[in-house]
Structure 1
């Protein structure tokens, strides 16, 4: 893949902190307040544990949220509510499709809006009745600040008709202005609506909904601390006005839609990662990560994450983010039942996040320990493989992200890596040899969910049938993914021997920008492995399968900067992982006149024999030395891979041919 310049990030090393607006609780009759002092944001609410009365915060105040959001509204839920309100129909994989509002009046390419309520303001005594001040205020409040380019809203024309102020604005600014309807200006509640809207409540247009979501993000983003504060979303006044959380269908699709709007605010993933290093999801009554899992796809390089004061009861509630967020340095889980239910969870969390320094504001690793850990974990994969070519970690990050996303959120995955020119197909190989050691009984019709769209070209020679089984475009691929059974792949870190992964530089990959007619460098990634096939609930294993999957990836214009050009999957009966296993360490050592790995003396604490073997293999690959000299070089460097490379560089001129394979 063509080399890219990465935008440097000065991510904070300390826990995230940010200012939040302060406001009275339970009063104001729907009025809202901002930091300029001219709005009142609190609303009167009812109910407990829903979109209603805030849940009192726990007494613990040492977590990250206590500094991020002290004084703000707490409680609320993004996972429950009563049915009534607007419906989000699409989120992660495509634009949000909503019922279109009544067509507004247009004049000279501009859209007319009417503003009422302003005439009762404290500025009514001004010479123009406060119109000029009101216009400046509306432009300021409706302008966008989050993203690669700031968007300044401008009101092009205005005139007064009785008690109404009629303004004309470009169509793309309508949603931003309608979003601030209900705000208080100079003591008066200002209402903004389309001309000709009548008394009927209009449907929510796509532009309005996107403007609402972007407004939520902008109000909750602090550029100084690089914090995106998504805590207590159930109490957000703008979201309550749209009744987002009052129906299960809208609740489920809200967060993917929010992440899609966030991605669209930035030109490149590098800009997005540089702008946001901390996220708070505190006080949202999360029982698991099902509805917020897309955060790990949108912001994979977070440094600080706050999940405090939710309802996470056990470690499995966090499985969707296991081995994600590889740059995570501070995690807050205080105020969750997991603290009482599983006192040993911190040890497992540390395995998930190799760079974690702070857990619940308590130091769990020193800087030296993190650097030492990075020496080992920065190797591509702890998997024996003939060749793994990579550049800037692109191939490695793709593999780590793809299979985790395929297991947890396929619609978001298809929108993340595939575009309208991407191809996907799969084939069933029912004649592949089975695991000779297998004793389980093979059920009849075990390929029911696969065979209909299987594109086995050895069996299908009719052109229309072959063509119909090739899926092209984001939506077609997403639909095809949805037709396949739910899966759970082995963990890449803890079950590495169940995988075989190769990556090769692939020239001539189509350039979506059109700047390189002859194509650019990408990667061909070949993966062999296995997975558990799950039932519809995603909890019970029904079968075990083996698979082979080949990807061609190249540069993309989507949120990840990477796109899948072609994806071919072959599914077969489980055949075991014997082919991936290296020969006996003892036999291999005898052939190379090397002591077995089990006899490696004085391995540093925390360095396993398996990882030591991988370090030897990686040094062999990068230097060309044989096993014996690679092992000796690492021993002399204290099993520090970087120092081992330096040692090789300093002595390679004196090494004879016997040192090389």
Structure 2
């Protein structure tokens, strides 16, 4: 019936097809770069960038870049050659040691391209003693004995969903089978893939894997973990030699969508960043961008654990049939406890914001964040009153408008972290303000208890309102704002609790815009209900009766144009007729001719 059937077929490394031959001296036939071995015995280097990006062949700056990266070794580069057709550049260096240093730089990025660096003595470099470069030993497919040894190894390292792959270089089973663990010098390039496939066949229910203390410099050798364990929840690389964030990219993004915990303690990538910034904020932010699903990093919650003693989240029963358009109903609170807590917090906070901002430092959590966004265009109300543009000088330097700021580093710099920075570097530097808390109609508050944003339950407060911007105590401009707080209970004995705060601020986002009044959130009278089709309640559309000859669709468009421009109903119909019943064109027509529109064309009253 044929040969013996194999139970396991691990990945086999493809046969290498190098056009650079150290024995023939033929060189790279595609590049026309010349002989592989210079007659003087020096070594030829071939550098290739990405084929889908601009060629590096004539980039003279690349030589200086390689020299810097090879430091402290000084390269003796001669016989420079380029080939525009292939995008390959080649040159000669003085000796074997220089060639090995350059070969180890293969994969480094230059001007957005990952360089592929090959030499005419790659085989010699790979077999040399003490080589730490990226070359790994090609070999035949693993034997049955090797696979059996891996199975025994995995069985010895598995326990109830946890696969312990720590310190594999010292494992007696692997050493007896002469199996070099992934990421080690002169190891097989496919050993990590084979190991993960063996482990997945034996223990597909694995949820936790630890690769601690294996000397791993990059996650590339074990990247197959995402293929064979896509539901992995916990992953540790403690005590390895991971140098750069880019070395984590092999498992980042959506490759492990269910990953909840990641440990990178005792790795240069973490230690270097903490030493540079004197805190772990930048480091944690960089890791979270790569692994957005995690909730625990280095055995610390991504956000502080909190619990709220105000009762369970209440979910109002939705009506069987929703009616649109919905009426504006002003403030919203999910329960009485939330309302009392939110209003007490806001009253205390806004009073101190106007009179003594420095004291607000106690109200912020030590890891709190604050961001400010300014919306500088003139508001619709200001346009109607022909008011000049506002002065934004007191805010613009801290404004973190993500639609305008694309640079990631600048986005991070404009975010304030920690109670001290939030207050001293952020709040105190903004102009003086006065919130008129005596008039509740000038503010709208939505607040509810919520889970999911943080490990525990918190209160989410969305505040809309206005304030008067003061200049040296004198009357200033009115401005509208939106502010979102996430607050948590102040722990007993904390600075917040000792200064009278029942809650502390976890997150604070402030958006300031030109003054636009408070009409947008003034409660509307509920529309009367009548029985519609099949007895389903529907709203009576009596606030504005369609004029004769106006269809239902045209009537809806007229009301929309009224809302967007402030025109009254008859003029809205005229404008839509002139613009072909296109609401967007109607808005543009109004804005372009606002100065010529008669006073009786506007809704009465307009805005206060």
Q: Please, what TM-score do these two structures have when normalized by structure 1? A: 0.28
Q: Which has the higher contact order (CA 8 A, sep 6+)?
A: 1
Q: Please, what TM-score do these two structures have when normalized by structure 2? A: 0.30
